[in-house]
Structure 1
Amino acid sequence: MEAMREQEDDIRPGRLLVATPILADPNFRRSVVLVVDHGPEEGTLGVVLNRPTEVAVGQILPPWAGLASGPDVVFQGGPVGMDSALALARLPGTDEPLGWRALDGVPAVARIGLVDLDGPPSLLADGIDGLRVFAGYAGWGPGQLRSEIAEGSWYVLTAEPGDVFAEAPGELWKAVLRRQGGDLAFVATYPEDPSLN
């Protein structure tokens, strides 16, 4: 129970919400969500990192197509606001170009932040080494996510800089759990459909 309390208190930007096998909601089943914003009054906002679509970034945001990391498709960031887009970018150095804002509370070493998609891509072209575009986002009202964690729907885990730009996003759920070791590494082997075992 103490470990669960520590998890609940550790919701903050830059952390991962990893769906437990009991989470059956199709929007979040086996999802890995990066927390982008969190506050006790505002609630929590994040993006699902492992739901690539088949839509190329160039089809939606042509000016940004050349900067998108592979796979260079739009990701389904969550079920809310599917008609809007947000992007995350990684900086290789210490300079912070115009049009990029660090995620609050994320260690500077991660150098991952939000991109202003209304600005010209040329402001960032030479200053980033990874860009991912998300359609929609995941959102929880005040207290809602804590309640879901207490019910056993989410693990709250440490993100690694490569998680946002995973080259095989479909394998991210298993990869994040495996690297935890112990019981969580075992959870990574949980079958897609336990009734088939």
Structure 2
Amino acid sequence: MVNLSPGILLIADPFLKDPNFARTVVLLCEHQDKGSFGFVINKIFDQRLDELVPDVVMPNIPVYYGGPVQMDTIHFVHQQPQLIKGGLEVIPGIYWGGNFEDVVHMINTGQLDLQQIKFFIGYSGWTSGQLEGEFKEKSWILSESNKTLIFEEKDQNIWQQSLRNLGNNFALMANFPIDPSLN
């Protein structure tokens, strides 16, 4: 049994209607009694990093919709702790945050492997007990994190693949229609 803890993936139930989280996968970065925090890893935002951060000169770096909270903030997860100082390890080899000014400089000078960093606008947050309540209501399916899945380039496949990785019963859910009443 997977428990709520940092590094867990929250996979939206196929019938979850909340437009912020329908068919999403959230990487949980922090889970404490006072609340929880994470990022939607499979919902691309309509602007690129250089459009949101004027100091970034490299074009076409994707940004993901991290969640509905503080949509005026940029966050990131990465696999490059040797270059990006100050990050917190969420699972072995995956870090959340670090010195953003250094990241911008390393992007502009070509020092970062852009396949090993993912940017988010906003974040997903839950108050004390809220996420546990949503889990009891079966809004979320829990799964162990997977580096490949977190940094998957084809974000539209992440939700289905997350369910398939859980095995037979969940693999069937990956093919459920968004609204079964329309079938």
Same topology, TM > 0.5: yes
Structure 2: distance between partners of 1:120 and 1:90: 13
8 Å CA contact 1:90–1:113 kept in 2: the answer is no
Structure 1: distance between partners of 2:128 and 2:97: 22
Structure 2: distance between partners of 1:115 and 1:54: 24
8 Å CA contact 1:21–1:29 kept in 2: the answer is yes
Please give the TM-score of this superposition, normalised by the length of structure 1: 0.81
Picking from 30, 42, 55, the partner of 2:47 is 55
Structure 1 residues 120 and 131, CA gap change in structure 2 (3 angstroms):
closer
Picking from 134, 138, 155, the partner of 2:124 is 138
Identical positions, percent:
31
Q: Give 1:65 shift.
A: 5.7
- 1:83 paired to 2:69: no
**Which stretch of structure 1 is more off in the superposition, 135-144 or 155-164?**
155-164
1:152 corresponds in structure 2 to 138
1:26 corresponds in structure 2 to 19
- 1:35 paired to 2:23: no
**Which stretch of structure 1 is more off in the superposition, 50-59 or 121-130?**
121-130
- 1:167 paired to 2:153: yes
8 Å CA contact 1:20–1:30 kept in 2: the answer is yes
Picking from 96, 114, 121, the partner of 2:97 is 114
Q: Give 1:190 shift.
A: 0.7
Kindly provide the CA deviation profile for residues 42-86 of structure 1, in whole angstroms up to 9, marking residues without a partner as x.
2100000011022111111244464x9xx7221110000001111
Structure 2: 5+ residue runs without aligned partners? none
Structure 1 residues 100 and 65, CA gap change in structure 2 (3 angstroms):
farther
Structure 1 residues 130 and 98, CA gap change in structure 2 (3 angstroms):
closer
Structure 2: distance between partners of 1:148 and 1:46: 15
Structure 1 residues 118 and 126, CA gap change in structure 2 (3 angstroms):
closer
Q: Secondary structure at the match of 2:175?
A: coil
Structure 1: distance between partners of 2:84 and 2:42: 28
Q: Alignment RMSD, CA only?
A: 2.2
How many matched pairs? 180
2:36 corresponds in structure 1 to 44
Runs of 4+ aligned residues of structure 1 deviating over 6 Å after TM superposition are none
Please give the TM-score of this superposition, normalised by the length of structure 2: 0.87
Q: Give 1:88 shift.
A: 1.2
Instruction: Give the residue type in structure 1 aligned to 2:149.
Output: D
2:6 corresponds in structure 1 to 13
Instruction: Give the residue type in structure 1 aligned to 2:30.
Output: D
Q: Give 1:99 shift.
A: 3.0
Structure 1: distance between partners of 2:116 and 2:54: 17
